[in-house]
Amino acid sequence: MITHTHRPLRVVLYEGQGAIALPAEARTKVMMALLDKGYAVTRASNGGTPAMPHDDRSLLVLGLFPDQTAPQIEDATGQVKIETRDISGLDVEGILALVEKNRGTTTMNEPGKWKPWFPVIDYTRCTNCMQCLSFCLFDVYGVSSDNKIQVQNNDNCKTNCPACSRVCPEVAIMFPKYQQGPINGDEVNATEAGREKIKVDISSLLGGDIYSALKDRSAAAKSRFSKERSPDKALDERKKCLTKLVGDGFIPADVLASLPSPDEILRKAAQAKARAEAALAAQG
């Protein structure tokens, strides 16, 4: 779960004109330590490649400066607060402590305390069939103003649960922190695409096939869509599918434990169906 949205402090390890280069080993260790704590780090040297634009409101510039005196630097536009610190004589822990002190009470996410787990849609594959919208019970998905499926509530996603990627008939849903391809973003070859579709046949118990068919906008599909199944049966089938996914080790057991109540599931399913219907109908 996302605890807050503060951007991490951007640290500049400055080794350009007017500064002394850090020993190679120390440079790498400092960068690793800062990155592993969650900071963004710019290594600025005399070596050519351009830096990212300074959109940040504050920068902390670290370097080995002559006479161990960090120069005063001001942003010409007055929009960026720039702090400079000399790090002569400091080891990695000392530099890290200096940065932490400079950050003060400003909160930021830290590795190890939270995992960025959420679906990423590959729009080169997505056909906007809305199966993911109808499948996810945690309101992760939504529909944009131009009726396109999109991820709207990242932080509702259940960590380590990639179940929606399995119901996507186009293998268009990725979880970059997942171990295996193609869910991790690896390329989808024809064999994998076929295998994924076979698995989706299982999940079509949930009614996903109805949404997929609706995409065809054919009269037959519309007719099929209008045939309602009993709510009790649909609920039972959804649970059965999720239980199977847990049993296969594909999704964590605590996802089942955190499912909404049966009434809530039915309400959400109806809402999702209405949103999907409206979005697809609006596409003509």
Partner 1 sequence: MPESPSTLLYCRCAYAQVVPSGVKNEVLQRLCDSGASFESVSDLCEMAAHRDPRLTALASCGKLRIAACYPRAVKGLFQQAGAPLPEDTEVLNMRTQTAVEITEALLSSDSATALTA
Is residue 181 a contact point for partner 1 (CB under 8 A)? yes
Is residue 284 a contact point for partner 1 (CB under 8 A)? no
Task: Give the residues across from 63 on adjacent strands.
Answer: 86
The span from the CA of 36 to the CA of 113, in Å, is 12
What's the token pair of residue 254? 């605590």
Is residue 138 a contact point for partner 1 (CB under 8 A)? no
Is residue 39 a contact point for partner 1 (CB under 8 A)? yes
State the nearest-atom distance from the C-beta of 111 to partner 1, in Å.
4
Size of interface with partner 1, in residues (CB under 8 A): 56
Among 82, 96, 177, 266, the residue binding partner 1 under the rule CB under 8 A is 177
Among 58, 80, 116, 277, the residue binding partner 1 under the rule CB under 8 A is 116
State the nearest-atom distance from the C-beta of 59 to partner 1, in Å.
12
Report in angstroms the alpha-carbon separations of 165 from 20, 22, 72, 199, 250. Answer: 50, 46, 51, 11, 11
Site for partner 1 in 50-69 (CB under 8 A): 50-53, 55-56
Phi, psi torsion values for 121, nearest 5 degrees: -90, 130
Is residue 156 a contact point for partner 1 (CB under 8 A)? no
State the nearest-atom distance from the C-beta of 44 to partner 1, in Å.
5
Letters for 75-114 (x = contact with partner 1 by CB under 8 A, - = none) are ----------------------------------x-xx-x
Stretch that binds partner 1, among 120-128, 129-137, 216-224, 252-260 (CB under 8 A): 120-128
Query: Residue 137 carries which DSSP code?
Result: S
Task: Give the residues across from 59 on adjacent strands.
Answer: 10, 82
| Other Cβ atoms closer than 10 A to 165 | 22
What's the token pair of residue 25? 């080993």
State the nearest-atom distance from the C-beta of 78 to partner 1, in Å.
19
Report in angstroms the alpha-carbon separations of 38 from 24, 30, 84. Answer: 22, 13, 20
Site for partner 1 in 186-205 (CB under 8 A): 186-187
